[in-house]
């Protein structure tokens, strides 16, 4: 059932792809596309069977995100945090939270993160605060930046710190009094991820809707690996989509280089060679993504330290390959298409959109640290740390 649910998206990919370039150009948020995913039920694919859901795992969520990213990585990035925080609620949430949240998601609701902040020495410095009053409420104050999907979300998962320095996730409906969501995301790429600034002014949340973040992160559940793997899926999808569009441009709009002595660019052996190299890079990234998804799923079925270590290592490798493939393909597309590929309004809808999306999204969680974790394991058998980024 879960795989069939994800497969149901395939027939709708052409329609999502059709408007992607224009949405990027005009910065039009993909409301209709996200509503379609909600109506298909695919955003509920990981809701546990114990709560009436399909009970899908990491592999289904990753494949859904990858498929969407081949046609519009903006649409694909919105479910990333949605799935991550559904997993956190499953691992660390109260019965009351799980009952309400999962029921809403089964009805089509979407969850967005409100996690990152401007300022602070590092991304782990959190100024948003949660305090607990004497009347059974948690009260949240703060401001978040780049809250992916928040502009079109039904629920927000807000990262806040309590007075003891512990990180908590407050789950709250997006229309809760005191919540303000501002559509102000302005970036080079990934321009329509419905991200914005989220302001929280004395927002009251039921105590049982506040979950301890450490429960998910510190346990052997592959939580950080799952979050990272979904990011890798976006980059793998970008790489495949860009390669497909580059090939179409070569066939329909490019001219052969005169020294090749051929009538069609696709008959140029040097160009074919480069396409072969890029195909290898994309296939390697796709294969690594699949391997890592199986490793993360193993932590869902039977959590253990060994399983969690393997999930993090496999995900780190997948993310490195995904990052490289996305950046290599989206840059090479210009070389393969020639000068015409740099013109606006080209036949494929602009290679620059793919490059801008790849360049922006691959800035998440630098792969140089993934290589550090892989290297330390290879040299000394040192397991990677457990965090939301590993």
User: Which part of the chain is CATH 1.20.140.10?
Assistant: 219-380
User: Which part of the chain is CATH 2.40.110.10?
Assistant: 2-216
Closest CA to 277 of 267, 288, 287, 269: 269
**Spatial distance between the Cα atoms of 373 and 382, rounded to a whole number of angstroms:** 8
- C-beta of residue 341 within 8 angstroms of C-beta of residue 250: no
- Amino acid 5: pLDDT: 87
Alpha helices in the chain (DSSP H): 2-7, 13-18, 20-26, 31-40, 58-71, 73-92, 95-106, 213-218, 223-252, 269-301, 305-337, 351-361, 367-380
Average pLDDT over the chain reads 94
Q: Which residues of the chain have pLDDT under 70?
A: 1, 343-350
- Amino acid 32: pLDDT: 97
- Amino acid 3: pLDDT: 84
- Amino acid 343: pLDDT: 67
- Amino acid 265: pLDDT: 86
Cβ within 8 Å of residue 75, ≥6 positions away: 16, 20, 30, 33, 34, 37, 68
Q: Does domain 2-216 have CATH number 3.30.420.40?
A: no
Integer CA distances (angstroms), 242 to 61, 253, 266, 268, 351, in order: 22, 15, 17, 20, 7
Q: Is 261 left (phi over 0), alpha (psi -120 to 50) or beta?
A: left
Closest CA to 199 of 186, 184, 223, 182: 182
Q: Does domain 219-380 have CATH number 1.20.140.10?
A: yes
Integer CA distances (angstroms), 81 to 147, 329, 336, in order: 9, 26, 35
Question: Which residue(s) pair with 197 in the sheet?
Answer: 182
| 88-144 pLDDT tens trace | 999 999 999 999 999 999 999 999 999 999 887 888 889 999 999 888 899 999 999
- C-beta of residue 229 within 8 angstroms of C-beta of residue 58: yes
- Please report where in the chains the tokens 């955003």 appear, as a residue: 43
Could you say which DSSP state residue 205 is in? E
CB atoms within 10 A of CB 328: 19
**Spatial distance between the Cα atoms of 374 and 207, rounded to a whole number of angstroms:** 39
């Amino acid at each position: 059932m879960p795989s069939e649910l994800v497969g149901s998206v395939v027939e709708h990919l052409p329609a999502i792809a059709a408007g992607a370039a224009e949405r990027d150009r005009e910065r039009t948020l993909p409301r209709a596309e996200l509503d379609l995913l909600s109506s298909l039920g695919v955003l509920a694919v990981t809701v546990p069977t114990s709560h009436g859901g399909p009970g899908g795992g990491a592999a289904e969520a990753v494949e859904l995100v990858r498929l969407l990213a081949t046609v519009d990585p903006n649409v694909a990035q919105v479910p990333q945090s949605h799935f991550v925080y559904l997993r956190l609620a499953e691992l660390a949430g109260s019965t009351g939270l799980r009952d309400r949240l999962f029921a809403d998601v089964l009805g089509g609701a979407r969850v967005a993160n409100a996690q990152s902040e401007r300022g602070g020495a590092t991304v782990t410095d959190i100024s948003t605060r949660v305090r607990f009053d004497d009347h059974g409420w948690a009260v949240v104050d703060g401001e978040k930046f780049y809250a992916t999907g928040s502009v079109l979300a039904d629920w927000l998962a807000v990262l806040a710190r309590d007075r003891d320095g512990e990180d908590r996730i407050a789950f709250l409906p997006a229309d809760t009094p005191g919540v303000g969501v501002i559509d102000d995301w302005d970036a080079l790429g990934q321009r329509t991820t419905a991200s914005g600034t989220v302001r929280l002014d004395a927002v009251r949340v039921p105590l049982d809707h506040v979950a301890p973040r450490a429960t998910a992160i510190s346990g052997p559940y592959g939580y950080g690996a799952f979050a990272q793997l979904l990011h890798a899926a976006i980059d793998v999808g970008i790489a495949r989509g860009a390669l497909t569009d580059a090939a179409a441009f070569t066939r329909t709009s490019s001219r052969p280089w005169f020294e090749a002595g051929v009538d069609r660019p696709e008959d140029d052996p040097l160009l074919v060679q480069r396409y072969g190299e890029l195909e290898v890079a994309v296939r390697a990234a796709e294969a690594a993504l699949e391997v890592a998804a199986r490793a993360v799923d193993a932590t869902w079925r039977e959590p253990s330290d060994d399983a969690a270590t393997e999930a993090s290592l496999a995900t780190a490798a997948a993310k490195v390959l995904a990052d490289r493939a996305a950046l290599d393909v989206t840059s090479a597309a210009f070389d393969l298409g020639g000068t015409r590929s740099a013109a606006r309004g080209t036949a494929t809808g602009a290679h620059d959109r793919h490059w801008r999306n790849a360049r922006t999204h691959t800035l998440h969680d630098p792969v140089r640290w993934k290589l550090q974790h892989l290297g330390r394991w290879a040299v000394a058998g040192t397991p990677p740390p457990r965090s939301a980024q590993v």
